[in-house]
Amino acid sequence: MNSTEIIEVEERYGAHNYHPLDVVIEKAAGVWVYDVNGKKYLDCLAAYSAVNQGHCHPRIIKALKDQADKVTLTSRAFRNDQLPFLYKELSELTGYEMILPMNSGAEAVETALKAARKWGYKVKGIPENAAEIITCENNFAGRTISIISFTTVDQYKDGFGPFTPGFKIIPYGDAGALEKAITKNTAAFLVEPIQGEGGVIVPPEGYLKKAYEICRKNNVLFIADEIQSGLGRSGKLFAFEYDNIRPDAVIIGKALSGGCYPVSAVLSSKEVLGVFNPGDHGSTFGGNPLGAAVARESLKVLIEENLVENSFRMGEYFREKLRGIKSKHVKEIRGKGLFIGVELKPEANGARRFCEALMGKGILCKETHENVIRFAPPLVIKKEEIDWAVKNVEEVLMME
Ligand SMILES: *Cc1c(COP(=O)(O)O)cnc(C)c1O
């Protein structure tokens, strides 16, 4: 079947909850993906940063296959021999005492929200059903009903009410607004250290540190959603490290499995995750041995191949090169590490047409929020590959 026929099958039988670029990928390796016609593309989305380690990393695939031959799922009714070591290795890597595994990012966010509420009631002493959680405008934290209850994107909510109460939304990047929004019933502040889906928005310098101190002072949990910004994407293991803070809880997902399996987790203290007792919360697949083995190897690859440092250096290089492009369409180039946003001026008529033109040149990008092109390739990218990409990006940004 050719790509047109395959796309027809997808459109005929699948729910249309996405608007993908019309490229049908059949295989991939490292930073490159190949469509059904054999055409090669540089992947500058990396599955929304789930494939930070590069596509089909041989070590991660080997871990996946080896574990698949042994045991894939036990459920948490029984123990398995992989999960304890994922806990231990994650704890040693990040310094967090306790871990709770889930599958998708949204589930891990839900888990963090439940932990924060329960901590609010059982530890902080908030009256029953009064806990408040503060979030920011322009956030993205997933698609469950509770999570979309605090989105500020109308489309994400349209038709899905009624919504979960207990959330307050404040402007992103404004520590004063946080201070004002906190009450004695505030359990937590949930924030992305860099907003990814919101358009690669880097908050003002010192914001996270100030927000963190305000949380400390008011006995409010500071929860960092590092599902996209974490695990090397920003040029640090976690984007919050730029502000020298230590969140009370960190949510990770996406690259935790190198794109080979859905694995997510909440990292926190015994004080916070210790509020869960047997039966309080769970997931059939969460913490399964296949996912745990894949996550263990994905973390090892990230560290042993120095991908965090490579993200930092290549990110600087990529941005510097992009800044050299003199296009009338570009409003701003921003980001940290290989988490890069190119914001176009409103007159440019949207980022989508540029993403389509880039696809023609063999570069896969996805617009975020109408006017931003995100460049977030796998962290294994090399200088020569960036040079090649920038040459093509320049041609595309020079079009009318
Ligand atoms: C992708 C993402 C999520 C949701 O993860 P899913 O695996 O898609 O459920 C949550 N928070 C952030 C910051 C994300 O980028």
Residue 155: give its domain's CATH number. Answer: 3.40.640.10
| CATH code where residue 33 lies | 3.90.1150.10
Same domain, 81 and 148: yes
Same domain, 40 and 176: no
Q: Looking at 240, 274, 304, which one is the last position of a domain?
A: 304
Q: Evaluate whether 394 touches 386 at the Cβ level (below 8 Å).
A: no
Q: Looking at 304, 326, 361, which one is the last position of a domain?
A: 304
Q: Could you tell me the distance, in angstroms and rounded to a whole number, from the CA of residue 127 to the centre of ligand 1?
A: 30
Looking at the structure of the chain, the number of domains it has is: 2
Q: 3-state SS of 161-206?
A: CCCCCCEEEECCCCHHHHHHHCCCCEEEEEECCCECCCCCECCCCC
Query: What's the rounded mean pLDDT across residues 384-400?
Result: 97
Same domain, 255 and 324: no
Same domain, 265 and 369: no
* Mean pLDDT for the chain overall: 97
Q: Is 18 helix (H, G, I), strand (E, B) or coil?
A: coil
Same domain, 100 and 14: no
Q: Indicate the pLDDT class of residue 369, thresholds 50, 70 and 90.
A: confident
**Active-site residue, from 35, 43, 225, 248:** 225
Same domain, 339 and 206: no
- Determine whether 140 is an active site residue: yes
Reply yes or no on whether the pLDDT at 170 is more than 90: yes
Q: Could you tell me the distance, in angstroms and rounded to a whole number, from the CA of residue 144 to the centre of ligand 1?
A: 11
Residue written as token pair 């389509």: 356
Same domain, 392 and 325: yes
Q: Could you tell me the distance, in angstroms and rounded to a whole number, from the CA of residue 391 to the centre of ligand 1?
A: 31
Same domain, 169 and 268: yes
Query: What's the rounded mean pLDDT across residues 369-380?
Result: 96
Single-letter amino acid code for the residue at 283: S
Could you tell me how far CA 97 lies from the centroid of its own chain?
22
Whether residue 189 has its Cβ less than 6 Å from ligand 1: no
- Determine whether 254 is an active site residue: yes
pLDDT in tens, 257-310: 999 999 999 999 999 999 999 999 999 999 999 999 999 999 999 999 999 999
Q: Looking at 262, 283, 304, which one is the last position of a domain?
A: 304
**Active-site residue, from 35, 118, 140, 222:** 140
Any residues with CB less than 8 A from the CB of 267 and at least 6 apart, and which? 90, 91, 94, 96, 98, 99, 249, 250, 251, 252
Same domain, 253 and 280: yes
> What is the position in ligand 1's atom list of the atom closest to the CA of 197?
15
State which residues form the domain around 350.
3-56+306-397
Same domain, 251 and 160: yes
Same domain, 159 and 103: yes
pLDDT in tens, 43-71: 999 999 999 999 999 999 999 999 999 99
Same domain, 181 and 275: yes
Sign of CA dihedral 178, 179, 185, 187: positive
